Structure 1
Amino acid sequence: MSPLRSLFSWPRLAAVLVVASGLAYAQAPLADAPEPVPAPEVVFVPPRDPPLPLLWRVSDADNTVYLLGSFHLLKPDDYPLSGDVNDAFADAEAVFFELPPEEMNSPQLPVQMMQAAVRTDGTRLDGQLPPDTAARLRDWQAANADTLQASGLTPERMQMFEPWFVGLMISMTEMGKQGLDPKLGLDQHFIAAADFAGKRTGGFETAAQQIALLDGMDADEQLQFIDEALSQAANDDLQTLHAYWRAGDADAIWNEMGDDMRNRYPKLYRHINVERNDAWVPKIEQLLAAPGTDDTLVVVGALHLLGDDGVVEKLRGKGYIVERMCSACAAVPPGPGR
């Protein structure tokens, strides 16, 4: 087994769900926000080259849809974006996301998520966890006590929730510690940009549908999910995935995450990826077939565009010509995802 394969030997469900598929990646506010702290001293950081975009273009006789693979949590130095992405946004009259912006940023979304995750049978989380997992969770809680206290998600309060929700909160906490911020994700960037530019926005599904997918995990999947979220806390997996996204390396993201998940968790993979892709493709075709000449930028989790089950290949299978747009990728060898 290569070092790279060893690094990605666990399925990383949390990374898939939160980063690449975009399911429920907003941190649920469980308490009043802590008192503000003074801003840290500004330290100059040399700018990096813009990320190489996971961006494709599909057109019919009069309309174009741009497909942009999102990383839902980013860092300040991931901006500015590439000229290709900015040009696609400038050309588009509308911007579509997985969720409509009014739902994605609704204060009711975290409330709805918590309501779905609350245990209703009088049991506690520890009673569902294997002893080793429960012990690891207590260790993690002790190591992150200040952060949990500030957010209101205390160890006692965690006992109220299903494993899938606690796993997401562990992953969100760890991503924050690594400098990845949902407020800086591509979705939020383009929601703000579309609002400023007066562009029409929309979404492919509802918050209720996304929450139902998470809450619909069976017991074994939920236990695997929280166990792997705790494992994720001990390594820099997300930093590597973020580096792949910055490099525009569609093949690495697919081979080391998407394909791994498809092989290990075929049922969950079908629910969160294939079935949603199948539902989105006709909606993209509707955007192409709409009267007039309005173009659309579609911003969705990167995993949804990649691999044989991805939106790009599904559109190609219907006869559309789908082209990768990456001016700076000329030196990158072509592959199935490119």
Structure 2
Amino acid sequence: MPIRTLLRSAALLLAVALAPLAAARGAPADTAASKPPVPLLWKVTGAGDARVYLLGSFHLLTAQDYPLSADVEKAFDASQRVVFELSPEDMQSPELSSRMVQAATRTDGSELKRDLDEATWHKLQAFAASNNLPLPQLQGMKAWFVGLTISVGQMQKMGLDPALGLDRHFMERAQKTGRKTAGLEDIDTQIRMLDGMSATEQRQMLAEALDEVDKGDVQARQLHDAWRRGDDRLLWNKMAVEMRQQYPQLYQRINTGRNDAWVPKLVPYLQAGQGGTLVVVGGLHLLGSDGVVEKLKARGYKVERVCTGCKR
């Protein structure tokens, strides 16, 4: 189910903005609490003392995913600033959820039902009834927003919490320790990424979200487990390969285009005198031939995986 998987992994904004609208959290996911997750972590060596640590985030996590591994802690300690997809100021802005809802609200007088096939509409009716969601309110929203609302709600039922996501964790750590912070994008950029989906892409994403509910969200559990193991190959194969083949334009907008825009913003942190910088972004953006890791290698930087004791 490529569309929903890729969007969910790419959209930090949704995990935060939609959480209050989604279902209440459930029991914690089944994780090996005694063993810290193996990080998706790379070190990029720049000029002089400049080092950039690229840390792949999972935007919704559990309390059992902490504490983090020693490798991640060392990267944080070695960094004087932390860079995110969205700056902490944007993440904490009271406009965040309101602007997201505004973009997702239908303004042409039509209803959501018009955009869905009969089977998907019936599934949505049943889901809304069993989860106490107001169907008339959903009728006034775009399909991408409804699909992601369902996805985030299901992840919360699994015990995955946006308040415990890696991004939020390091935003709080940076604030407490007085580190500088920055964002690679702004709110409008992330909203355009989602609201720019075609009607066909939106329909499929909502249908996939409803199908996954029936399966107990097996894929979300699989991806979370893979993130804990630092299994970059499985994450890449499950999140991106099929999407890149079947929906190249969507993949370009959500992933490759953003990676291309981020790399020039990271290069200044690799100049002499910059010291250490920790960059925390969705794990997908670091993986594959068109990920940030390979793009920085192509520019001549030394990039190495930091993975003490893991089997790869």
Report TM bin, short chain: over 0.9
Establish whether residue 92 from structure 1 lines up as the match of residue 79 from structure 2: yes
Q: Distance in 1 between matches of 2:55 and 2:38?
A: 11
Structure 1 equivalent of residue 219 of structure 2: 237
What's the CA shift string for 1:77-126, capped at 9, x where partnerless? 00000000000000100000000111012221110001001101111111
Q: How well do the aligned residues superpose, as a CA RMSD in angstroms?
A: 2.1
Q: Aligned in 2, Cα 1:178/1:164: closer, same or farther, shift over 3 Å?
A: same
Structure 1 equivalent of residue 15 of structure 2: 25
Structure 1 equivalent of residue 56 of structure 2: 69
Q: Aligned in 2, Cα 1:160/1:320: closer, same or farther, shift over 3 Å?
A: same
Q: Aligned in 2, Cα 1:179/1:281: closer, same or farther, shift over 3 Å?
A: same
Alignment of 1:23-62 (within 5 A): 23-28=13-18, 47-62=33-48
What's the CA shift string for 1:32-70, capped at 9, x where partnerless? x99x9xxx9xxxx98320000000000112200000000
Structure 1 equivalent of residue 108 of structure 2: 121
Structure 1 equivalent of residue 120 of structure 2: 133
Which of 253, 268, 284 is matched with 1:286 structurally? 268
Structure 1 equivalent of residue 89 of structure 2: 102
Shift of 1:318: 1.1
Structure 2 equivalent of residue 201 of structure 1: 181
Unaligned runs of 5+ in 1: 1-9, 149-153, 334-338
SS state of the match for residue 106, structure 1?
coil
The letter of the residue matching 1:315 is L
Structure 1 equivalent of residue 285 of structure 2: 304
Which of 237, 245, 260 is matched with 1:255 structurally? 237
Shift of 1:15: 2.8
Which of 51, 64, 79 is matched with 2:66 structurally? 79
Shift of 1:23: 4.6
How many residue pairs end up in the alignment? 305
- Asked whether the equivalents of residues 17 and 100 of structure 2 are also in contact (C-alpha less than 8 Å), the reply is no
Q: Aligned in 2, Cα 1:16/1:105: closer, same or farther, shift over 3 Å?
A: farther
Structure 2 equivalent of residue 181 of structure 1: 161
Q: Distance in 2 between matches of 1:46 and 1:272?
A: 32
Establish whether residue 271 from structure 1 lines up as the match of residue 253 from structure 2: yes
Q: Aligned in 2, Cα 1:46/1:303: closer, same or farther, shift over 3 Å?
A: closer
Q: Distance in 2 between matches of 1:298 and 1:71?
A: 13
Structure 2 equivalent of residue 320 of structure 1: 301
Shift of 1:264: 1.6
The letter of the residue matching 1:170 is I
SS state of the match for residue 328, structure 1?
coil
Q: Aligned in 2, Cα 1:139/1:155: closer, same or farther, shift over 3 Å?
A: same
- Asked whether the equivalents of residues 21 and 304 of structure 1 are also in contact (C-alpha less than 8 Å), the reply is no
Q: Aligned in 2, Cα 1:224/1:327: closer, same or farther, shift over 3 Å?
A: same
SS state of the match for residue 86, structure 2?
coil
What's the CA shift string for 1:128-152, capped at 9, x where partnerless? 211111001011112211xx3xxxx
Q: Distance in 2 between matches of 1:282 and 1:57?
A: 17
What's the CA shift string for 1:238-257, capped at 9, x where partnerless? 00000000000000100122
The letter of the residue matching 2:61 is L
Unaligned runs of 5+ in 2: none
What's the CA shift string for 1:166-223, capped at 9, x where partnerless? 0110101111111110000000000000000000000001011100111111111111
The letter of the residue matching 1:25 is A
Shift of 1:156: 1.2
Q: Distance in 2 between matches of 1:256 and 1:265?
A: 14
- Asked whether the equivalents of residues 19 and 152 of structure 2 are also in contact (C-alpha less than 8 Å), the reply is no
Stretch deviating more after TM superposition (15-24 or 206-215):
15-24
